[in-house]
Amino acid sequence: MTRIRILIADDHPVVREGLAAMLERQEDMEVVGDAPDGAAAVARAAETSPDVILMDLRMPVMDGVEAMRAIAARQPSVRFIVLTTYDNDEYIFKGIEAGARAYLLKDSPREELFKAIRAVHRGESLIQPSVASKVLDRFATLSRQAQSPELLSEREKEVLRLMATGAANKTIASALFISESTVKTHVQSIFQKLDVSDRTGAVTQALQRGIISL
């Protein structure tokens, strides 16, 4: 039987040792190495030629996203599974964009991890339902953006950028040489177009959609 060659990248020794002991008990799996940070993962991947890498995202020296990009550029046949404690949108999408074929949380049942390793090795993908729902939400948002890329006018974007700095309507009016009532009109238009009810929501939505940047 050809065993799946696995590299474990995680900055916690106990996690690496625990995963290795668990995976080695599977007849079709073999742990070929481990790494305490992203830079070490890149080096170990080059040395061991793994089939699958279990990659944590937050690690010292080089994070998991950078490590996946570096490894994929040199070894395109390697497949990645993100195994992390973080399930917020930023980490999920960065991990998937970097090439992860599966995204699992560290509290996942061991059978789910085994299933993911085998699926990814076969060329398939596996994402937990809670994570998948966030991915679908992001695709829906991107689809809406594609349909209306110029959702806000240039003036509304200027107002929004100043809102993001915490500027009050009077300050925005002075900076843009417009009346305060005009600023209020723009703010209400921004709320309506972004489907939010306050300034914090407007700024958050604009940043997530890439309408403005800080």
Domain 150-209 has CATH 3.40.50.2300: no
Identify the CA nearest to 55 among candidates 78, 75, 82: 82
**Options 2.40.40.20, 3.40.50.720, 1.10.3720.10, 3.40.50.2300; CATH of 4-140:** 3.40.50.2300
Residue of 22 and 195 predicted with greater confidence? 22
Listed range (65-69, 168-172, 205-209) with the worst mean pLDDT: 205-209
Domain boundaries, the chain: 4-140, 150-209
Residue of 145 and 108 predicted with greater confidence? 108
Q: Is the pLDDT of residue 113 over 80?
A: yes
Q: pTM of the predicted model, to two decimals?
A: 0.64
Cα–Cα distance for residue pair 155/12, rounded to 1 Å:
49
Q: Is the pLDDT of residue 122 over 70?
A: yes
Residues 66/108/24/44 CA torsion (nearest 10 deg)? 10
Cα–Cα distance for residue pair 118/114, rounded to 1 Å:
6
